[in-house]
Amino acid sequence: MASRVIVMPAQKKDESPRLELLRSAPKNSWIALSADETKIVAIGETFMEADAIAEKSGEKNYVLTRTPDAWMSRALSPLS
Amino acid sequence: MKYPYKQTPLPNGKFDWLPILPVQVSRGSLTTSPFEAIVDSGSFNCLFHGDIARAVGIKDITTGTLKISGGVVKGVRMKTYGHDIRLVIGSDNFKIEGYFSDDFPMAALLGREGFFDKYIVRFDPTGNAPGFELTRAHKS
């Protein structure tokens, strides 16, 4: 994997550009973030749709992620 | 290898710092583009959204091994289905049984079986640049 540039806030309490991008993205969607996490290069209903749009955009080293139905703390554990 | 924690929104304008790792999944000749996975020692397995399975050619995730996962909140249940895949982390890759669900609200969680048995993970959420460090565990 190619090296990636991550924008780190100056202070731990400061918000990064990534945060506003995630808040503004549609819920229950796949999005592709630019390598520096300053822009959304693709949005799709499925992983493959967002991936295809991102690839077509020409953006290099993008990373896909999924937005949940609501932003909250979550925890899972196996039952069987 | 060191990675920075990343910010994730919480309700009411708050946010959290999470150990998020870019990973890929492969199966046969198919490999996904990189996507974000949360490093979560509280998760027994590595869990992925069902779309990741379809991206590597698993058309019907329910053909896999059924495992029920639940939240810490009583009554929350989620069916997950296990399939043999390869987890790709940077230049490293290895076979795991990944569990998939279309009800999974995020892209992926990296849990104890399939990730923490492969890497020694040192979390450091303190300071102004929180991060975590991975060291490959080579067990005989």
Taking an 8 Å cut-off on Cβ atoms, the answer to whether B42 and A76 are in contact is yes
Does residue A21 sit within a domain?
yes
- Cβ count near B105 (within 10 Å): 18
Domains in chain B (CATH in brackets) are: 20-136 (2.40.70.10)
Residues from chain B that touch A22, judged by Cβ atoms under 8 A, are 8-9
B53 close to A (CB below 8 A)? no
Q: Which of A65, A67, A69, A80 best probes binding to B when mutated, by most B CB atoms within 10 angstroms? A: A65
Q: What is the pLDDT of residue B6?
A: 94
CA-based angle B82:B84:B89, to the nearest 5? 110
Q: What is the pLDDT of residue B80?
A: 94
Q: What is the pLDDT of residue B62?
A: 97
Does residue A48 sit within a domain?
yes
Structurally, chain A folds into a number of domains equal to 1
Residues 6+ apart with CB under 8 A from A49: A30
From the CA of A26, how many Å to the nearest CA of chain B? Answer: 13
Structural domain boundaries, residue A49: 17-67
pTM (predicted TM-score): 0.91
Q: State pLDDT tens for residues A5-61.
A: 666 666 667 889 999 999 999 999 999 999 999 999 999 999 999 999 999 999 999
B11 close to A (CB below 8 A)? yes
Out of B10, B47, B128, closest to residue A12 by CB: B128
Q: What is the pLDDT of residue B139?
A: 62
Q: What is the pLDDT of residue A26?
A: 96
Does residue A78 sit within a domain?
no
Q: What is the pLDDT of residue B128?
A: 76
Residue of chain B minimizing CA distance to A18: B7
CA distances from A55 to A33, A35, A70, B45, B51 (A): 12, 13, 27, 30, 17
Q: Which residues pair with A20 in a beta bridge?
A: none
Taking an 8 Å cut-off on Cβ atoms, the answer to whether B6 and A15 are in contact is no
Residue of chain A minimizing CA distance to B37: A65
Q: What is the pLDDT of residue A79?
A: 47
Residue by residue, pLDDT tens for chain B (140 residues) are: 899 999 999 988 899 999 999 999 999 999 999 999 999 998 889 999 999 999 999 999 999 999 988 766 666 788 999 999 999 999 999 999 999 999 989 999 999 999 999 999 999 988 777 899 999 997 64
B49 close to A (CB below 8 A)? yes
